Amino acid sequence: MYDRDQLFIDGKWAAPASGQDSISVVSPHSEAVIGHAVSAGPADVDRAVEAARAAFDTGPWPRMQPAERIEAITRLAGIYNERRADMATLISAEIGAPISFAKRAQVRLPLTMMSAFCTFAADYEWCQERSGLYGKNIRIRKAPVGVVAAVVPWNMPQFLTVTKVAPALLAGCSVVLKPAPESALDAQLLADLVAAADLPPGVFNVLPGGREVGELLVRHPGVDKVSFTGSTAAGRQVALACADGLKQVSLELGGKSAAIVLDDADAAAAATGIQMASLANSGQVCNALSRILVPEKRTDEFVDALAAGMASMTVGDPADPNTQIGPLVAQRQQERVRGYIESGKSEGAQLVTGGADMPDGLDTGWYVRPTLFSDATNDMRIAREEIFGPVLTVISYRDEDDAIRIANDSEYGLAGSVFTADVERGHGVAARVRSGTFGVNEGYIMDPAAPFGGVKNSGYGRELGTEGIDSYTVSQSISTAASS
């Protein structure tokens, strides 16, 4: 049992304001409570923002040289590395991620990101000189934006946290993190690691809680910038709140990404690539390839290859290293995904494999079998709405232009992929699809050097790469009169 009855605010663990509720974290596999975390309240939000505000306005952190902050985050990365196994086990237990995926993507990838951001910060142009048009010398200084509210969901909790917190801290900002209730425990473990790294008080604070805590934080007048990852519906509300307070905001929202399989692609290779890119974390990934566009003349071949791979996946206990598909994070998510499966059947799509029934041998847990639909059209709900589960929809197209038209016929624009024997042809397709990220012969990989983010209803702003540091800075222009 993981129990936390304090909040990490101003560099120390302290009791919350009186009368706060406890968050029960439930295993998606056993349906048993595995731990508790205390939920922050309005007074705790005020206290955390005030601590972050003081750390930024009068503390040493934003006034340090970049090299000093890099040294501190490098120290944190070393401590994080020592606790990798603990972090992976905890994330697997709280959200149901298969332990092999938790070790690789939920923990090792964030650690890689932390180290990569330190490298980017070392090469970052924090200050540059320009010659002005009026004979003056112009200095452009990259200054930290201020107090950052980082709001992250449960599906990739450490990855999404690190991609916000690391660049914000390296830029000289202070951060208040609001994790989701389902993944409150790993955020508390991260706070332990930050405390061990001995960062200045108030630089990093953690406020577990539900939507109401996020609303208080986003609207707080002491916050300068909001970085939010979540649903498009919630992102709209965050954007409105930030507009009202004239805060800077970055939004990484939902997706309904298309995998375009061209007529020259190898069926088995494409199926394997799509399976890896679409069903990791039980499909609970924002850039999952959930619409599979295949040429009419080869539809059966591609559907058979996909179905064979999906039907052979191991579904079960996330603690088992052989498990490929774990449970969904909550019963509400299981019911939601089952609802989409029934919708696909009622709208006339062909259920090829999977379905709403529990997998064989499992009596408890919020599981959904890997599910594949064919004979679908792009106007069906399963093709237009983000399901956030292990459900893939195959749509046939006439020619390349038709495939690109279907891919772009979506309110989302987060990611996408093309599978082809001709890489240059693949790059040509990528240039015609309106999305923030794209993969050729693979799902889009979260390379630390490449900016990540969406267009349309998938949000705006970029994370990762040097652009990820840009997101937490403001440009200050300083002009100097020529000496007389």
Please give the mean pLDDT across all residues of the chain: 96
Q: Is 434 helix (H, G, I), strand (E, B) or coil?
A: coil
pLDDT digits (tens, 9 = 90+) for 354-387: 999 999 999 999 999 999 999 999 999 999 999 9
* The residue type at 465: G
* Residue 73, H or E segment: helix 66-82
Segment 300-305 long-range contacts (CB within 8 Å, at least 24 positions apart): 301/267, 302/261, 302/267, 302/270, 302/271, 302/394, 303/352, 303/372, 303/374, 303/394, 304/267, 305/267, 305/268, 305/270, 305/271
Tokens 């390349």 locate to 400
Spans of all domains in the chain: 2-253+458-478, 258-440
pLDDT over 90 (residue 24): yes
CA distances from 167 to 55, 174, 363 (A): 17, 11, 43
The whole-angstrom separation of Cα 397 and Cα 299 is 9
Place of tokens 């889009």: 444
Phi, psi of 276 (to 5 degrees): -65, -40
3-state secondary structure of 360: coil
Catalytic residue selected from 182, 252, 400, 463: 252
Q: Are strands 174-178 and 147-151 parallel, antiparallel or unpaired?
A: parallel
CA 280 to chain centroid: 13
Of 11, 25, 178, the C-alpha closest to 90 is: 25
Q: What is the mean pLDDT of residues 461-481?
A: 95
2-253+458-478 and 258-440 have identical folds? no
Quote the pLDDT of residue 203: 98
Summarize pLDDT for 290-343 with one digit per residue, the tens.
999 999 999 999 999 999 999 999 999 999 999 999 999 999 999 999 999 999
CATH number of 258-440: 3.40.309.10
| pLDDT value at 483 more than 80 | no
pLDDT of residue 484: 55
pLDDT digits (tens, 9 = 90+) for 158-184: 999 999 999 999 999 999 999 999 999
CB 433 within 8 A of CB 408: yes
Instruction: Convert the pLDDT of each residue in 272-294 to its tens digit.
Output: 999 999 999 999 999 999 999 99
pLDDT category at 440 given cuts 50, 70, 90 is very high
Q: Is 252 a catalytic residue?
A: yes
- Other C-beta atoms closer than 10 Å to the C-beta of 246 total 7
Residue 328 has a pLDDT of 98
Q: Quick check: 192 and 164 in contact, CB under 8 A? A: no
Q: Which of 355, 391, 397 is nearest to 377 (CA)?
A: 397
CA 23 to chain centre: 22
> 470: Cβ–Cβ under 8 A, 6 or more apart, which residues?
462
pLDDT at 481: 78
Looking up tokens 């589960």 gives 389
- pLDDT tens figures, 55-110: 999 999 999 999 999 999 999 999 999 999 999 999 999 999 999 999 999 999 99
Domain 2-253+458-478 grouped into CATH 3.20.20.70? no
Query: Does the global pTM surpass 0.85?
Result: yes
The residues, ordered by sequence, that sit 6+ positions from 110 with a Cβ below 8 Å of its Cβ are 80, 158, 159, 161, 162, 163
Question: Which tens digit of pLDDT belongs to each residue from 344-355?
Answer: 999 999 999 999
